[in-house]
Amino acid sequence: MITAVGTETCSFLMNSVKKRLYPYENRSDPRLGTLLDARFKKEGFQNAGNAQQAALALEEELCSFKDYATKPNNEELPKENRSPFLFKFVEQKICDKVSNRRADAIVMLRQYMEQRNASHDTDPLQYWKINEHQLNALSRCALKFLSIPASSVESERIFSKAGAIITDRQSSLKAKHVNQIIFLNKNQWLEKYEH
């Protein structure tokens, strides 16, 4: 990169990568995956408008969880933890408080965004496993969107392997047996770690 040609080549490659990846910012799944990757968050977008759209889509996703909203605490407190008579009205107000999914989603999303980005060598799925209790609904969204394969290559390999197994000679194999053969073939690499 010291020479002018090296610098020009590097610049060309960087611009080509940006140009090639830019359309993915407009797709909902990669958009949410980028936002939920704690290494990038909104900084992973080339266009700030796409980052904002991703945040709104994630907010909607959080609101869609049926069991997400914080439930009011209507449990009876133990006698030693009960408030004195003067604070009974406050205790009752807290117990009667109705949860709002949208407000809870906004608060949780803001809490996540204001945290410092994870270091570049952090595994995003491990990050969400660690923060599962603190950011429960976001953790569920992260597992949903970060587990989407980036390409279809792996599934195409499996279809190709299935095509090699099911031939004219072996067309009467039961689906159960074909699944077992494909599974064993795909995971045979684990055998070397067994010993």
Task: Return per-residue pLDDT of the chain as tens, 195 residues.
Answer: 688 888 999 999 988 888 887 887 888 888 898 889 999 999 888 888 888 999 999 999 988 876 654 444 444 545 555 555 666 777 777 776 666 888 888 888 999 999 898 888 888 888 999 988 888 889 989 988 988 877 788 888 888 888 888 877 777 888 898 888 888 888 888 887 765
Specify the pLDDT at position 23.
80
pLDDT at 190: 81
Using a 10 angstrom Cβ sphere, with 0-12 exposed, 13-18 middle and 19 or more buried, the burial of residue 57 is middle
Same domain, 120 and 177: no
> Does residue 34 sit in the same domain as residue 127?
yes
Indicate whether 141 and 62 sit together in one domain: yes
Do both 56 and 120 map to the same domain?
yes
User: Can you tell me the distance from the alpha carbon of 72 to that of 74, in angstroms, rounded to the nearest whole number?
Assistant: 6
The number of distinct structural domains making up the chain is: 2
Q: In whole angstroms, what is the distance from residue 180 CA to residue 186 CA? A: 10
188 and 129 inside one domain: no
Q: Are residues 35 and 97 in the same domain?
A: yes
Query: Is the same domain home to 125 and 166?
Result: no
Would you state the pLDDT for residue 66?
67
Show the CA angle centred on residue 106, arms to residues 125 and 144, nearest 5°: 30
Q: Within this chain, do residues 89 and 158 fall inside the same structural domain, yes or no?
A: no
- pLDDT at position 194, please? 67
The domain of 176 spans: 153-193
Per-residue model confidence (pLDDT) at position 56: 93
The answer for 112, left when phi > 0, alpha when psi is -120 to 50, beta otherwise, is: alpha
Q: What is the pLDDT of residue 74?
A: 44
Please tell me whether residues 49 and 116 are part of one structural domain: yes
Q: Are residues 157 and 142 part of one domain?
A: no
pTM check: above 0.75: no
Residue 170: CB atoms within 10 Å: 12
Is residue 8, in this structure, part of any structural domain at all? no
What pLDDT shows up at residue 70? 46
